[in-house]
Structure 1
Amino acid sequence: MTFRFDDAAIAGVLHHMNDDHTADNLLIVRAFGAPEATAAVMTGFTGDHAIWMATTPEGDREVTVAWPGGSISERPQVRKQVVALYDEACARLGAEPRPHE
């Protein structure tokens, strides 16, 4: 059964990703299913995957990406998994990842 995070956890992560990491959102969707995307926003996540809405020349479409480390159930794990997706996206697209704090 897929773990469902509470509304506060989801809102906090989405706010952070969509306000502070817009370029990372775009990089992730380009690497994992929408290479033609021109913009992306994170719209949700569960214990099994994260979800973005990608803007493409053909219109908006959802991109769902499984967490690389498998299922999660705690909020701190979300950050680790998003960082892992970012690092994998950089590797797939040949981009230099920035250092993580």
Structure 2
Amino acid sequence: MTHHFDDSVRVGVLGHMNGDHGDDNVLIARAFGPADDVTGAVMTGFDGDGGTWLATLADGTEVGVHATWPGGPITERPEVRREIVALYDEACRRLGVEPRPHA
């Protein structure tokens, strides 16, 4: 059964990702979505199985993108960061982009 995080966790993670990691959102949407002409993306949700993004394509079309967590299902707040970082690293690998170091 899929784990659902409480509202405070969702609000915190989505606020951080959309406020501080817009470029990462675009990389993830390009790497895991149906098109590579993503010009913008926002993270719209996540649960224990993966994250969702709304990607804007070059022609203005919006498409949903879902990516499962690389490490498998999660249930704890600290695991969200770990899995988003893993998605970012995998997105960089798929797209041939040098990932930045993680603090």
Same fold (TM over 0.5): yes
Deviates more, 1:7-16 or 1:58-67: 58-67
- Give the match for residue 83 of structure 2: 81
Q: Runs in 1 of length 4+ with deviation above 6 angstroms?
A: none
- Give the match for residue 24 of structure 2: 24
Which of 86, 98, 101 is the aligned partner of 2:100?
98
Report the CA distance between 1:59 and its aligned residue.
Answer: 0.9
Report the CA distance between 1:92 and its aligned residue.
Answer: 0.5
The gaps in structure 1 that reach 5 residues or longer are none
Corresponding pairs, count: 101
TM-score for both structures, normalised by structure 2:
0.95
* Identical amino acids, percent of aligned pairs: 60
Report the CA distance between 1:35 and its aligned residue.
Answer: 1.1
Alignment of 1:1-101 (within 5 A): 1-33=1-33, 34-56=35-57, 57=59, 59-101=61-103
Amino acid at match of 1:13: V
The CA RMSD measured in Å over matched residues stands at: 0.8
The gaps in structure 2 that reach 5 residues or longer are none
1:11-63 Cα offsets, whole Å, 9 max, x none, are: 00000000000000000000111311110000000000100000012511110
Amino acid at match of 1:97: P
TM-score for both structures, normalised by structure 1:
0.97
Report the CA distance between 1:74 and its aligned residue.
Answer: 0.4
